[in-house]
Amino acid sequence: MAPRQAPRARDPRPRGSLDRRTVAATAIDVIEEHGIDSLTMRALASELDCGTMTLYSHVRNRDDLIVAILERLIEELDVVAHTSHADDGWRDVLVRLFGAYRELAERHPHAFELLALAPYDAEPVASHLESVLASLERAGLSPDDARRVLGISDAFATGFLVVRARTTTRPGAVAGASTPLGDLRSVGMYERGIEAILAGIEGTLTGVTTDHRSSI
């Protein structure tokens, strides 16, 4: 007589208690604790205390999981909250937005890199950047100038923050080390860099009056 098979383990998570946002948030936690290479569908299902097939009902595959993570990071960045002040000039908009960008990098230094290095023309990043460009145009920039400003300033911010995240989260690293070289990756240096970049770009613009309302 063939031995009886053990009953299949039931999914301990209550039906309907899981959604795409929760999956993405948990995936970010996994990345921060164990690194991006540890993020597999099986590991994530275990972390969520659900079956792998349940997970696939919210994200189609690992690539779609990365998209869900990007969606969650962009949602957390909250562009609207940082660009909807009616009296702001374009420099004010970017100072506030790049400040939020830095805070996001500090909360999620490992997962942040997925957003920082994502292709500009892939969703959901493309829609996110279009939203930022629209806010810069509302603040007085022409479409061409808005793209120029965003491209240059984002290149600086992204490069700085990725290097900062990698150097301050490595084993034995001390954030804000009190040495002259340690200050090169400090928050203050980042903020001064943003100020310098925006001030320098302003002199090259063709379709906007110098913005004297900015604090920089």
Q: To the nearest whole number, what is the mean pLDDT of the chain?
A: 86
Q: In this prediction, what percent of the chain has a pLDDT beyond 90?
A: 72
pLDDT of residue 6: 44
Task: Based on the fold, state whether residues 143 and 91 are members of the same structural domain.
Answer: yes
The Cα angle at residue 124 between residues 137 and 207, in degrees rounded to 5? 15
C-alpha torsion sign, points 155, 134, 112, 20: negative
93 and 63: one domain? no
pTM of the model: 0.82
One domain, residues 49 and 92: no
Q: Are residues 25 and 82 in the same domain?
A: no
Q: Do residues 21 and 72 make contact, with C-beta atoms less than 8 angstroms apart?
A: yes
Residues 96 and 198 in one domain: yes
Average pLDDT over residues 26-42: 95
- Here the tokens at position 117 are 């290095």
Q: How confident is the model at residue 120 (pLDDT cuts 50, 70, 90)?
A: very high
Tokens, residue 23: 């999956």
Domain that holds residue 33: 20-70
